[in-house]
């Protein structure tokens, strides 16, 4: 029965919540940076679109990364380190590719777009690292018990 239901499930829910939160904070950061440096109370054209689209790139690539993580580590816990690296790589490269493509195609304002993108991406990386480093020892110990 323990083979069907692992005692320590993969930390998918905390990673998903952290991903969404980091993207929301990326949008908030774009507004904060704009308000901190604002001379007038007006936003440049395309500001709102840039502040929303950039973190969306991180979110969509992060969902793809979570899919890779779950599918690599679901059946064999010994694949966890490789699954974490693959998931992070998919999120990183996917978000940069999407961001650059959308930035070029939509002609969005440079400052708000890249500020929101970088804040969302860095926060996603930091929280991903925290969640995985806390969960990894227990998950690896479980895989050691299963192979013994």
Distance CA(108)–CA(96), nearest Å, equals 15
Q: What is residue 107's DSSP assignment?
A: T
Q: What pTM value is reported for the model?
A: 0.82
Closest CA to 96 of 48, 46, 54: 54
pLDDT of residue 122: 93
Q: How far is CA 132 from CA 18, 29, 85, 90, in A?
A: 12, 25, 11, 16
Quote the Cα angle for 51-53-58, to 5°: 105
Taking each helix axis as running N to C, give the angle between helix 12-36 and helix 47-73, from 0 to 180 degrees, rounded to the nearest 10.
160
Per-residue pLDDT of the chain (148 residues; tens, 9 = 90+): 445 445 557 888 888 998 899 999 888 888 888 777 655 556 777 888 888 999 999 999 999 999 999 998 887 878 888 888 999 999 999 999 999 999 999 989 888 899 899 999 999 999 888 988 888 787 777 666 554 4
Task: Tally Cβ neighbours within 10 Å of residue 107.
Answer: 9
Centre a 10 Å sphere on the Cβ of residue 46 and count the other Cβ atoms it contains. Answer: 15
Distance CA 83, CA 54 (A): 25
């Amino acid at each position: 029965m323990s083979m069907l239901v692992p005692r320590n499930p993969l930390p998918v829910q905390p990673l998903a919540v952290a991903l969404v939160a980091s993207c929301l904070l990326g949008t908030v950061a774009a507004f904060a940076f704009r308000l901190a440096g604002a001379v007038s109370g007006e936003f440049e054209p395309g500001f709102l679109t840039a502040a929303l689209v950039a973190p969306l790139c991180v979110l969509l690539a992060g969902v793809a990364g979570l899919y890779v993580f779950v599918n690599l580590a679901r059946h064999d816990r010994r694949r966890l380190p490789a699954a974490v690296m693959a998931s992070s790589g998919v999120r990183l490269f996917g978000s940069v590719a999407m961001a650059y493509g959308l930035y070029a195609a939509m002609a969005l304002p440079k400052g708000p777009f890249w500020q929101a993108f970088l804040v969302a991406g860095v926060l996603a990386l930091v929280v991903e690292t925290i969640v995985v480093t806390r969960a990894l020892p227990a998950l690896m110990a479980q895989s050691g018990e299963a192979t013994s």
